[in-house]
Amino acid sequence: MTRTSVEESPSQLGRSDNRPLLAIKVALVGVIVVTLSAAGWRGVTQSDTRTEVASGPEPVLTSLASVTSPAVLGELPEATSQALVGGPVAQALVLRAEKLAREAEEKRLAEEKKRAIEAAILPERGIWNGTAPLPGSEVHDLMTMPMLQAEQAPVVALTFDDGPSKYTAEILAILKKEQVPATFFFLGMNVQERPADARMVADAGFPIGSHTMDHKDLKTLTPAAAEAQLANSTKVIDDLLGAGTVQCARAPYGSFNDDTLRAAKKQGLGLVGWDVDTEDWKVRDSGRILARATVPGKRQLILAHDGGGERRATVEALPAIIAHYKAQGARFVELCTGKAPGKS
């Protein structure tokens, strides 16, 4: 056997050894190709599917008119289309309209009332209607009273404010004992608290006027509020003692203006002032009260109090005041008696 037939050359041995490796590489390449091809096909298929979905038929838009058409609304439950929508809206509109109408009417009435008060022509100051001021007038002395113009003797009018109180009965007893008339101006709130004392004065025949409901300064109030002070107190007194009891009023502190007088005129009342102030509202000495009450003068309209605070000094001074004027031959008169024209 020759050498060449038994042994192969190095190059032939290398080619023989590389064949299995080459076969494996070829196989791997084939697997990769097949895998990539399959993946690519699926991607193309999914892409085509998405494209087909995206490019499918466009949605149909329904117009607002077709949605709100009677045919469509008729298919809705009644509770949804009417009760839940129409009912509350309609009710709200009705309530709003009623509120506006009510506010308009209230404003109209307020303006009408204001015009009526403003249009009221006031009488001159010091105009009497018998023994009471003419409604809307104000008197503060007795010199202008027509019934006294021919009177020669001194004339005295005793008046008492702020009652009734626990002192009213004592003052009333002194007046009755001395057979001297007087006029009482009661607060409405006190009449409510002490109706028996108010009846006692009325039953004794003494005239009673209004001193407002709760002693507010009428000059500081609106015309409507001032009118309410006079109207409410008058009603309280008249309801208790009889219609027409109140014929006149006295402003707390003597404070009033033309608006107050117009309000009083609407109530058929005039205002009674004074020209002699005993100042028993600030002093607690009967001697000083007597001195203040007995100043010189032929016609005296005297202010004192039977309520509104401690009035023991007033009770003690009253007999001496009466004795002083009786010694001068004075005649005592009462104010605001009888029924004013037009009052029931």
* CATH classification at residue 310: 3.20.20.370
Domain count, the chain: 1
**176 lies in a domain?**
yes
Indicate whether 103 pLDDT > 70.
yes
| Strand 155-163, strand 183-186: pairing | parallel
Indicate whether 21 pLDDT > 80.
no
**316 lies in a domain?**
yes
Which of 230, 237, 219 shows the shortest CA–CA distance to 264?
230
**19 lies in a domain?**
no
| Strand 299-305, strand 276-277: pairing | parallel
Say how many residues make up the chain: 344
**207 lies in a domain?**
yes
> Rounded distance, CA 156 to CA 328, Å?
11
What is the value of pTM for the model shown? 0.66
> Rounded distance, CA 261 to CA 133, Å?
11
3-state secondary structure of 139: strand
Across the chain, what does the average pLDDT equal? 82
**226 lies in a domain?**
yes
Indicate whether 171 pLDDT > 60.
yes
3-state secondary structure of 271: strand
**Arithmetic mean of pLDDT, 273-288:** 96
Give DSSP secondary structure letters for 225-267. Answer: HHHHHHHHHHHHHHHHH-TT---EE--GGG---HHHHHHHHHT
The per-residue pLDDT for range 174-223, each reduced to its tens digit, is 999 999 999 999 999 999 999 999 999 999 999 999 999 999 999 999 99
Residues assigned a catalytic role: 161, 305
- Start-to-end CA span in the chain (Å): 171
The reported pLDDT for the residue numbered 47 is 46
Cβ within 8 Å of residue 307, ≥6 positions away = 160, 161, 162, 163, 164, 165, 167, 168, 187, 190
The reported pLDDT for the residue numbered 36 is 54
The reported pLDDT for the residue numbered 92 is 87
Question: 173 pLDDT band (50/70/90 cuts)?
Answer: very high
> Rounded distance, CA 330 to CA 299, Å?
9
The per-residue pLDDT for range 290-320, each reduced to its tens digit, is 999 999 988 999 999 999 999 999 999 999 9
What residue numbers bound the domain in which 259 lies?
A: 128-332
What does the radius of gyration of the chain's CA atoms come to, in whole angstroms?
53
The per-residue pLDDT for range 41-92, each reduced to its tens digit, is 454 444 444 444 444 455 444 454 444 454 544 554 555 555 666 678 888 8
CB 171 within 8 A of CB 278: no
At residue 308, φ and ψ (nearest 5 deg) are 85, 10
